[in-house]
Structure 1
Amino acid sequence: MMEQFERVNEALDRLEKMLDGMKSENEALGREISELKGIIEDRDLEIMQLQEDAEKLAASSRAEKEELGSRLDGLLGRMCKLTAQEQAAAGEDRQ
């Protein structure tokens, strides 16, 4: 009978050690999960910031393109006007 109690106690001790090991492993995994969640949140914020920066850059580029287009249109208009004036002056000189 005593021998059976000793075996049961030994089995319980082994189970307790296994349980302690599993608890430790579970705690370590919990810490790792928390750390990984933090990393993911940081990356999400970085991605959002990069997207915002890209949108701002694209808007700035569009505005610059429109401004350059306006300037070119203005210059072309002046060139056409000057060309027309030169042609009119040349026509008067021929007469």
Structure 2
Amino acid sequence: MTAPSRTELASTWPPTAAVAKAAGHKQMSPMKAIREKCLDCCCNQPSEIRACETVKCPLWPFRSGTHPYTSARMKNPLQETDFTESEAA
């Protein structure tokens, strides 16, 4: 049996775990996948991810590998106050 072609793999929508594995992907969390994409974009330089200024990128808030919109982070008024005060300065 031959391996499926790129066209055959891409034509499966939405992709299943079996199709992803056949395409050479390993199982990972969405946050890990975002971090891997940021590393790819920054030529595998973690320091460049931290310094990323591409704030219009939809992945930018997630680049640290943590989810910024969790309920615990959203309830932390200190972070919002610090940002608002530093923005006004």
Give the structure-2-normalised TM-score.
Answer: 0.21
Q: Highest relative contact order (Cα 8 Å, sep 6+), 1 or 2?
A: 2
- Structure (1 or 2) with the greater helix fraction: 1
Give the structure-1-normalised TM-score.
Answer: 0.20
Larger radius of gyration: 1
